[in-house]
């Protein structure tokens, strides 16, 4: 966000906020299609803004990638919050893990690209947000006996990440990831 002369953060004007949101959305779509090395010129074109506007909001590719990643993590966490109201906690956890898998497949190299130069605080914060969101869903599912008690959220997230990594280059990566995840989730259920 812009700062005023005293160093305080000023809220963005409405048109600047719209441009920011359109740039992040366009970058997210292009990353899903072409990977983290998607063209910044194409991002600006799809967002309907000039290159200067893109660079005013995101002075580097890294800043744009971080914004896309943070936006996606916030959406995943909001979905987890919504699913806490789902009457079937086992189903809620399954739906969320499938959303995490789709998120990871759509990132197509975003995580690896961010690891090179990312702000370590961003990575830690996003990881904690996802873990906390998933933990709440997992505990509900375990409380009703839908998931084995020894299953930990960290292991579930590793499983989803491994499936996403294995399928992100597939022609229909999201569908393949969903199928593999459904097979794996059958193994965590209490029988």
Q: Coil, helix or strand for 189?
A: strand
CATH of the domain at 6: 1.10.10.60
Residue 5 pLDDT level (bands cut at 50, 70, 90)? very low
Percent of the chain with pLDDT over 90: 49
Does pLDDT of 10 surpass 70? no
Whether 79 shows a pLDDT value over 50: the answer reads yes
**pLDDT at residue number 167:** 85
Query: 53 and 88 in one domain?
Result: no
* Same domain as 130, residue 173: yes
Name the residue range of residue 49's domain. Answer: 1-59
* Averaged pLDDT for residues 170-184: 86
Whether residue 34 contacts residue 55, with contact meaning beta carbons closer than 8 Å, is answered with no
Between CA 159 and CA 122 the distance in angstroms is 22
191 assigned to some structural domain: no
pLDDT digits (tens, 9 = 90+) for 89-122: 999 999 999 999 888 877 766 666 665 666 677 7
pLDDT value, residue 6: 52
Q: Is pLDDT of 164 > 90?
A: no
Residues near 186 by Cβ (< 8 Å), separated by ≥ 6?
Answer: none
Q: What is the pTM of this model?
A: 0.77
Q: Are 28 and 68 within 8 A, CB to CB?
A: yes
Domain final residue, candidates 59, 76, 94: 59
**Overall number of domains in the chain:** 2
């Amino acid at each position: 966000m812009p700062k005023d002369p005293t160093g305080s953060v000023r809220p963005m004007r409405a048109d600047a906020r719209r441009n920011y949101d359109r740039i992040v959305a366009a970058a997210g779509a292009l990353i899903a299609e072409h990977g983290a090395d998607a063209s910044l010129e194409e991002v600006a074109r799809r967002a309907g803004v000039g290159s200067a506007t893109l660079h005013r909001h995101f002075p580097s590719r890294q800043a744009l990638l971080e914004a896309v990643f943070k936006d996606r993590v916030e959406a995943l966490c909001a979905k987890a919050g919504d699913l806490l109201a789902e009457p079937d906690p086992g189903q809620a956890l399954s739906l969320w893990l499938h959303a995490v898998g789709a998120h990871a497949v759509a990132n197509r190299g975003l995580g690896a690209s961010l690891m090179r130069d990312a702000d370590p605080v961003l990575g830690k914060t996003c990881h904690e947000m996802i873990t906390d969101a998933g933990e709440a869903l997992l505990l509900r599912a375990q409380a009703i006996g839908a998931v084995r008690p020894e299953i930990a959220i960290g292991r579930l997230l590793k499983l989803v990440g491994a499936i996403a990594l294995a399928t992100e280059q597939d022609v229909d990566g999201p569908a393949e990831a969903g199928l593999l995840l459904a097979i794996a989730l059958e193994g965590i259920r209490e029988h």
